[in-house]
């Protein structure tokens, strides 16, 4: 009898834990089996909306533009803080750099989901911050969304994604340097992600890991998200650069296995983008032809910079980790 009582008590605790984790899940939404994956530590298990429900939620709540109040500093709202880190890359045999945005009220006793945000051609770890493009307002947007309950507390990593074996900086737009950006997949998965997981309290598992990027970073986010779908549950790209299907993954291979179906795939584009032109739409059409559910987000009047990046960030931050 005592053993039976212990089993009943344990089951009640499990149900209570699941109920707590579904606090921010819309009523009636299904949850993913990833939340109970055996290889995820007990303290890091999280209930997430199913891909089908999250897609519906995103479609119903997609905003073409960023509301003006999302990018402003507001009284009574706490905003996150940046840390600049240095880590050694054995892959490149030199030190590498990244910026980390920690949420307001950062607490090392908690576990946070993590988003990797990738810059474009010629960029570095500052390019998606105010030092690179002051119109994006990443810190303000995330802080306001967390404060309003529209986004989860999260850690955001802004790495330098140029991975040339001998050159530290990009010196031209050519196949050699394209390959250096494509090589970031190795450094990210084998070195940067383990470093972040060792030094920051991040929740592991694909349901707690997202990636997005701008321009060449958007191409790399798609490349990494497709090839490493077991590691990234959310994949975003804004104004993604061309060449993905020539250099990285064939169009017919831009698909996902049933067990690694992303929670969300989202592509944003600007109608006035004179750098990558209609290339983002080509990726959108490939996913459509391949039967991959995704969000297609066109920003009227958006160009290749902040006017398109900011709306993408505003929407993507609201949709991931739901």
Determine the pLDDT at residue 94. Answer: 96
C-alpha distances in Å from residue 208, one per residue of 177, 202, 320: 31, 8, 9
Residue 76 has pLDDT above 60, yes or no: yes
Cα angle 149, 214, 275 (rounded to 5 degrees) comes to 135
- Determine the longest span between alpha carbons in the chain, in angstroms: 74
Residues paired with 116 in a beta bridge: 157, 211
State whether the Cα torsion 135-138-143-149 is positive or negative.
positive
Residue 69 has pLDDT above 80, yes or no: yes
Taking only the tens place, the pLDDT of each residue in 91-126 is 999 999 999 999 999 999 999 999 999 999 999 999
CA-only gyration radius of the chain, Å: 20
Residue 50 has pLDDT above 50, yes or no: yes
Determine the pLDDT at residue 47. Answer: 86
Residue 3 has pLDDT above 50, yes or no: no
Residue 22 has pLDDT above 70, yes or no: no
Residue 14 has pLDDT above 50, yes or no: no
By CB atoms closer than 10 A (0-12, 13-18, 19+), residue 7 is: exposed
Residue 137 Ramachandran class (φ > 0 left, ψ -120 to 50 alpha, else beta)? left
Domains, in order of start, for the chain: 49-319 (3.40.50.1820)
C-alpha distances in Å from residue 59, one per residue of 37, 214, 265, 307, 319: 27, 21, 12, 21, 10
Of 4 and 301, the structure prediction assigns the larger pLDDT to 301
Binned at pLDDT 50, 70 and 90, residue 270 comes out as very high
C-beta separation of 179 from 85 below 8 A: no
What is the three-class DSSP state of 48? Answer: coil
**Burial profile 268-280: b = 16 or more Cβ within 10 angstroms, e = fewer:** bbbeebeebeebb
Q: With CA atoms as reference, report the closest residue to 191 among 48, 86, 295, 268.
A: 86
State whether the Cα torsion 7-207-128-168 is positive or negative.
positive
**What angle, rounded to 10 degrees, do the helices at 306-319 and 138-147 form?**
30
Q: pTM for the full model?
A: 0.89
Determine the pLDDT at residue 8. Answer: 37
């Amino acid at each position: 009898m005592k053993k039976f009582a212990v089993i009943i008590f344990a089951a009640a605790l499990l149900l209570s834990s699941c109920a707590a984790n579904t606090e921010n899940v819309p009523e009636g939404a299904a949850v993913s089996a990833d939340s109970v994956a055996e290889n995820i530590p007990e303290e890091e298990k999280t209930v997430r909306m199913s891909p089908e429900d999250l897609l519906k939620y995103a479609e119903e709540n997609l905003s073409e533009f960023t509301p003006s109040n999302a990018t402003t500093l507001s009284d009574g709202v706490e905003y996150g803080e940046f840390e600049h880190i240095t880590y050694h890359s054995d892959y490149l045999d030199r030190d590498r750099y990244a910026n980390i945005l920690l949420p307001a009220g950062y607490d090392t006793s908690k576990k946070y989901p993590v988003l990797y945000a990738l810059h474009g051609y010629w960029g570095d770890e500052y390019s998606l911050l105010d030092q690179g493009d002051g119109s994006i307002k990443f810190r303000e947007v995330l802080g306001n969304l967390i404060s309003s309950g529209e986004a989860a507390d999260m850690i955001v990593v802004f790495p330098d994604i140029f991975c040339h074996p001998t050159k530290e900086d990009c010196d031209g737009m050519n196949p050699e340097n394209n390959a250096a950006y494509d090589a970031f997949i190795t450094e990210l998965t084998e070195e940067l992600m383990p470093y972040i997981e060792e030094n920051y309290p991040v929740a592991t598992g694909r349901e707690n890991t997202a990636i997005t990027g701008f321009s060449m970073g958007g191409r790399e986010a798609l490349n990494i998200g497709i090839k490493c779908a077991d590691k990234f549950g959310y994949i975003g790209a804004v104004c993604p650069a061309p060449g993905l299907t020539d250099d990285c993954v064939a169009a017919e291979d831009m698909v996902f296995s049933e067990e690694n179906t992303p929670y969300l795939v989202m592509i944003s584009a600007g109608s006035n983008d004179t750098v990558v032109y209609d290339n983002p739409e080509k990726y959108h059409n490939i996913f459509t032809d391949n039967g991959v559910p995704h969000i297609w987000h066109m920003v009227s009047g958006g160009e290749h910079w902040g006017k398109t990046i900011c709306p993408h960030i505003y929407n993507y931050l609201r949709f991931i980790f739901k």
